[in-house]
Amino acid sequence: MMLREIAHGRTGDKGDTCNISVIARDPRDYPRLVRDVTAARVCAFFAGIVEGDVVRYELPQLGALNFVMTRALGGGVTRSVALDAHGKSLSSALMGMEIGDSITGERQDP
């Protein structure tokens, strides 16, 4: 299933760094986010867009993860030639990421 079914999120930009929050709709799904939406998977998902690192911060009391991705905005909002220079639409892309329906069904992607 798609991440969108259990989570929502928002993109923010600072220079060439993009952050995307991934927030459980139901706090009980937070452990699944922690398990399935790893920094490595997010990095692989954004291959070709994110040229730097992906760091994940965990906020259990908010049921939220925060992904910080460097060299992710085509050199920075103010100089990028991209149509969406802010990367505002990147959170919607991430919501389309496939996550495992169950522990046994989980794919062991990078």
Partner 1 sequence: MSRAAARRVPTTDRPLRIGCGAGYSGDRIEPAVELVEQGDLDYLVFECLAERTIAIAQQAKARDPNAGFDPRLRERMEAVLAGCHARGVTIITNMGAANPHAAAACVRDVGVQAGLTNLTIAIVTGDDVLAMMTGGEYRSLETGEMFVPGSIVSANVYLGAEPIVEALLHGVDVVITGRVADPSLFVAPIVATYGWTLDDWRRLGIATSAGHLLECAGQVTGGYFADPGVKDVPGLERLGFPIAEISPDGGVVITKVSGSGGLVTTATCTEQLLYEVHDPAAYLTPDVSADFSQVSMTTMGADRVRVSGASGRARPATLKVSVGQFDGWIGEGQISYAGPGAVARARLAANVVAKRLELIGVSCSDIRYDLIGIDALHGAARSTSSSDPYEVRLRVAARTPSEADAWRVAREVEALYTNGPAGGGGATATVRQVLAMRSTLVPRGDVSWRVDYEAIP
- Binding residues (CB under 8 A) for partner 1: these are 4, 8-10, 12-17, 19, 21, 23, 25, 47-49, 57, 59, 61-64, 66, 68, 74-79, 81-84, 88-90, 93, 96
Closer to partner 1 by Cβ: residue 35 or 79: 79
Rg (CA), the chain: 14
Specify burial of residue 85 (Cβ count, 10 A radius: 0-12, 13-18, 19+).
Answer: middle
Give whichever of 104 and 107 is closer to partner 1, judged by the CB atom. 107
Distance (Å, rounded) from C-alpha 75 to C-alpha 107? Answer: 33
Shortest Å distance, C-beta 104 to partner 1: 26
